[in-house]
Structure 1
């Protein structure tokens, strides 16, 4: 199951603000909450009460709550890895170990009688997971989550992100990563230069970040790292199909009604016998066999152009294609629209038999 999540920081925002944000996120079907005990300072009893109030409210909305901790936090709270009762008492469903122990301690934690999930830091890139499993951990209680990075240029390298995430996916563990809300400015630390897992995402639209993470097929849960994301951003994320790549497009003003229907309403998948030049969705040529597809816009093709073949191409008439490389137009191919520039890189993630769909640009952020 692939889910959406938010992050909240009770030591940096009022409890009432956070509850309102949780309500809004729950309305848009967000199912996870990340919170951070790493930077907690001040009156411990008051801090614990605030966290408990927030976590209780999130649980009432059907959301899973994971609290970020470290061995240092264990010491400050007087908690032992052998007894995680404290985290159950504040209502958490699990704890994320930002920094770990030696491996044996984590394995012992996976047998906690409170039933808490133990979330590991995926980003470190060591054999940390293998080490924990070598101590015969209960893998059913292990999940993984990447770091986020508030300092510009310190986010993860893409290849490292893929490599480390695969270690967890290959073990069948749930994985998570963070995206940045351009409109949000609250995180666990004073630095505010965006908050994301992948450095390449820092300036991207939030929905494109999420589409990318899901397109990699190594991430299950996508969590907004900073608070408070706007309602438009929450809505945009909620409208993404995490299992079917959705490409935002613009269509020609002169596009006929049937061609528009083929782009926006038909079920698309790439043929198995793939081409270097085009992604081919061929079912529309079968469904609309006999329809006269006439030329109306036949310029040379560029990467990201959406093409529907005309009847001049005989039995190819009505076939939808997406250009991967520049091509000369014979005058028989209608360019009916194009993928928006910021999403054209996603075409590289469409594999043989991959299912995909289109949405109009106007729907983003409405």
Structure 2
């Protein structure tokens, strides 16, 4: 099951604000919470005082709280990897190791008596996971999560992201990555230019970022890295189908009711004999082979246009397509709509035989 999460930073907020945000996120089906001890100042008692109330509230909502740490945090708080009772006292469900140890320590931590999850940094691309696995950890207590990057232009390159993610996915480790709210104003650090994992996501709507991450097939959980996402963004994220790519489409004026029905109501899947030019969904041409589809809206075709072949295309009449490249229109294809510009990156994520659907952008 894919999950959604949000982030809180109690040292930059108040318990009331954080708890109101968690309540709202929970109402929209969010079940993960990320927080950070890397930027926190103060002793053990102060940190417990600042975090404990809000973590307890999240737990009452049934949300899983993971806190980000590094070896220097262990040293500063006088915590040993052999004794994780501090994090159990905090109420956390797990700890994320922004920087790790040698592998032996991480493996040992998975056997902690509190059942705390040990979440590993996925973004480095080394053989770190293999090293940990060589020490025979308790695998069900291992998780993976990418970094986020508050500095513009420092986020992960897509190919590196895939390489790192597959290292965890092929070992059966649950994975997570961050998206950035366009409404949020802060994170754990003074620099706040977004908190996404992938640089290509930084200026995109948060739901498009999440659709893209889920469509990669290598990410199980998507977490909003900065605080606070707007209710509109939380709602949009909650409406994503993580298992079926949904394109936001603007329908053209003048399309027929049948064309609207084909786009929005008929089931679609990407035909397996792949073309460089078109994503083809062919079942509608079978269903409506005896129904007229007159030529109209036969304009030139651009990448991202949604097409339905008309009466002039013989046995292809009624077939729905999405254009992958610009093409000439010889009058046999009706251009009935267009995928939202910010979602054009999703076209490359659709795989042959994958189901997909459209959601009308009014």
Interval containing the TM-score (normalised by the shorter chain): over 0.9
Secondary structure of the residue aligned to 2:223 is: strand
Q: Is the 8 A contact 2:43 2:77 kept in 1?
A: no
Is 1:49 the counterpart of 2:77? The answer is no
How far 1:49 sits from its partner (Å)? 2.2
Instruction: Kindly state the Cα deviation for residue 153 of structure 1 after the two structures are TM-superposed.
Output: 1.5
Tell me what 2:328 maps to: 328
Deviation at 1:52, TM superposition (A): 1.2
The question of 1:264 aligning with 2:293 is answered: no
Q: Deviations over 1:245-273 (max 9, x none)?
A: 11111111101111111111111101111
Name the structure 2 match of 1:168: 168
Partner of 2:219: 219
Tell me the equivalent position of 1:19: 19
Residue of structure 2 equivalent to 1:94: 94
Q: Deviations over 1:163-204 (max 9, x none)?
A: 011100010111111111111111111111111111111111
Name the residue aligned to 2:338. 338
Using the alignment, how far apart are the partners of 1:48 and 1:304 within structure 2? 51
Shift of 1:313: 1.8
TM-superposed deviation, 1:43? 5.2
Q: CA deviation at 1:158?
A: 1.4
Other structure's SS at 2:253 match = coil
1:150 paired to 2:150: yes
CA displacement at 1:140 relative to structure 2: 1.5
Which residues of structure 2 form unaligned runs of 5+?
Answer: none
> 2:158, 2:59 → 1: CA distance?
34
Contact 2:2–2:221 under 8 Å retained in 1: yes
Q: Which stretch has the larger CA shift, 9-18 or 80-89? A: 80-89
2:293 is aligned with 1:293: yes
* Equivalent runs, 1:1-366 vs 2, <5 Å: 1-42=1-42, 44-362=44-362
**Gaps spanning 5+ residues in structure 1: where?**
none
Partner Cα separation in structure 1 for residue 95 and residue 42 of structure 2: 21
**Alpha-carbon distance in structure 2 between the residues aligned to 1:280 and 1:153:** 36
Moved over 6 A (4+): none
Q: Matched residues in 2 for 1:128 and 1:42: separation?
A: 31
Q: CA deviation at 1:133?
A: 0.5
Cα distance in structure 2, aligned partners of 1:180 and 1:295:
43
Q: Does the residue aligned with 2:123 lie in a helix, a strand or coil?
A: helix
Once residues 58 and 77 of structure 1 are traced to their aligned partners in structure 2, the CA distance between those partners, rounded to angstroms, is 23
CA deviations over 1:227-258 (Å, ceiling 9, x no partner): 01111111111111111111111111101111
Question: Per the alignment, in what secondary structure is the counterpart of residue 124 of structure 1?
Answer: coil
In structure 2, distance between residues paired with 1:135 and 1:3? 29
Helix, strand or coil: the match of 1:137? coil
Distance in 1 between residues matched to 2:242 and 2:335, nearest whole Å: 28
TM-score normalised over the length of structure 1 = 0.96
Provide the rounded CA distance (Å) in 2 between the counterparts of 1:220 and 1:288.
Answer: 38
Quick check: 19-28 or 350-359, which moved more? Answer: 350-359
Matched position secondary structure for 1:112: coil
The Cα of 1:315 is off from its aligned counterpart by 2.1
Which secondary structure state, in structure 2, belongs to the residue aligned with residue 259 of structure 1?
Answer: helix
Distance 1:42 1:254 in 2: 64
- Cα deviations by residue, 1:37-82 (Å, 9 ceiling, x for unpaired): 1111135423212311111111111211111111111122222111
Q: Distance in 2 between matches of 1:107 and 1:47?
A: 26
Q: How many residues align?
A: 362
Q: SS of 2:322's equivalent?
A: strand
For 1:348 and 1:111, how far apart are their aligned partners in 2? 41
